[in-house]
Amino acid sequence: MARFESTHWSVVLAAASSPSSGASNALERLCASYWYPLYAYIRSRGVGPEDAHDLTQEFFARLIEKGFLKDVRPEKGKFRTFLLASVNHFLSNEWDRAKAQKRGGHLQFLPLDFAQAEERHVRGAAHTLSPEALFERAWAMAVLDSVLSRLRDEYARAGKESQFDHLKGVLVLGEGGASYRELGGEIGLSEGAVKVAVHRLRRRYRDLLLEEIAQTLAEGENTEEELRHLMAALSG
């Protein structure tokens, strides 16, 4: 729970009026988890890979280092809403200057893997989504990826990494994956024990998913409503 509390977007929002190292660290962690949707958004607006790389790096440099938080307003309570509004403002006002500066690689504390990001973008290049809808879908996928990573870490710490790797298909594939009997044969559990394990896995997955979503919302915002929105973005 400590990680959840220390990275909450409300901590970052508080920095708008009273900057602190804790809020800056929280912002860096949130950006590290959710930078790809902005890269995909910039690319989908017709920007080439190299320029999208430089623009994404420069945007986050300014966001974290140069006081972009002073522009936070109540209607930007969701982290993803704030990011999209901020990057649109950045692109409208700083596009040419940012491209000329070629700052790529400046933010060493953010592990921005642009080669992998570009491969991912190209794989989905046949989509017909608008840049905004693509951003929403990429954001939703980033949330789910983060949750799966956290869940796998929990199982690994409990010495159940192999069990997680066998059972995670019930989260990704639903009922279309292997049967409980087949899974039991793979990990040495009875069919009944697998059902119990799957129930616990799904329950913990949902708990972590709501926590992850809450990290990107301001205090008092509805996590269930945001969850429905993200699921809709995935199916859109």
**Domain containing residue 214:** 132-236
| pLDDT by position in tens, the chain (length 236) | 334 445 678 778 776 666 677 777 788 888 888 899 999 999 988 888 888 888 888 888 888 777 666 666 656 578 898 889 889 988 887 776 665 665 544 444 455 677 777 777 777 655 678 899 989 999 999 999 999 999 999 999 999 999 999 898 888 656 555 788 888 888 888 989 999 999 999 999 999 999 999 989 887 889 999 999 999 998 86
Tell me, yes or no, if the pTM score tops 0.85.
no
Of 79, 97, 126, the one marking the end of a domain is: 126
The pLDDT of residue 60 = 85
Regarding whether 158 and 189 lie in a shared domain, the answer is yes
The pLDDT of residue 96 = 65
Of 98, 126, 154, the one marking the end of a domain is: 126
3-state SS of the chain?
A: CHHHHHCCHHHHHHCCCCCCHHHHHHHHHHHHHHCHHHHHHHHHCCCCHHHHHHHHHHHHHHHHHCCHHHHCCHHHCCHHHHHHHHHHHHHHHHHHHHHHHCCCCCCCCCCCCHHHHHHHHHHCCCCCCCHHHHHHHHHHHHHHHHHHHHHHHHHHHCCCHHHHHHHCHHHHCHHHCCCHHHHHHHHCCCHHHHHHHHHHHHHHHHHHHHHHHHHCCCCCCCHHHHHHHHHHHHHC
The pLDDT of residue 17 = 64
Domain count, the chain: 2
The pLDDT of residue 107 = 45
Regarding whether 150 and 102 lie in a shared domain, the answer is no
Regarding whether 77 and 15 lie in a shared domain, the answer is yes
Look at the chain and count its residues. Answer: 236
Place of tokens 């990826």: 145
Of 126, 152, 167, the one marking the end of a domain is: 126
Regarding whether 191 and 95 lie in a shared domain, the answer is no
